[in-house]
Amino acid sequence: MDMIKYRNLTSHVYDETTARQIAEEICGRFHACFVAMHRRFLALYERS
């Protein structure tokens, strides 16, 4: 749910400090999830 919260924040962020905080959260907390999702989708694609 945090990922969705940060995604929603990025839609209307005009403050550089907040944007940097969101970027840090994405890199620190969510990047591994995106990598895992990419690997899963790639594996499913290669099996089809």
What is the residue extent of each domain of the chain? 2-47
Tell the residue number behind the tokens 């890199």, with chain if given.
27
pTM metric for this prediction: 0.60
Q: How confident is the model at residue 45 (pLDDT cuts 50, 70, 90)?
A: very high
**How many angstroms separate the CA atoms of 1 and 46, rounded?**
29
State mean pLDDT over 17-32. Answer: 89
Tokens standing for residue 16: 């550089």
pLDDT of residue 6: 83
Residue 1 pLDDT > 90, yes or no? no
Residue 8 pLDDT > 90, yes or no? no
State mean pLDDT over 11-39. Answer: 89
| CA nearest neighbour of 25 among 42, 39, 43, 4 | 4
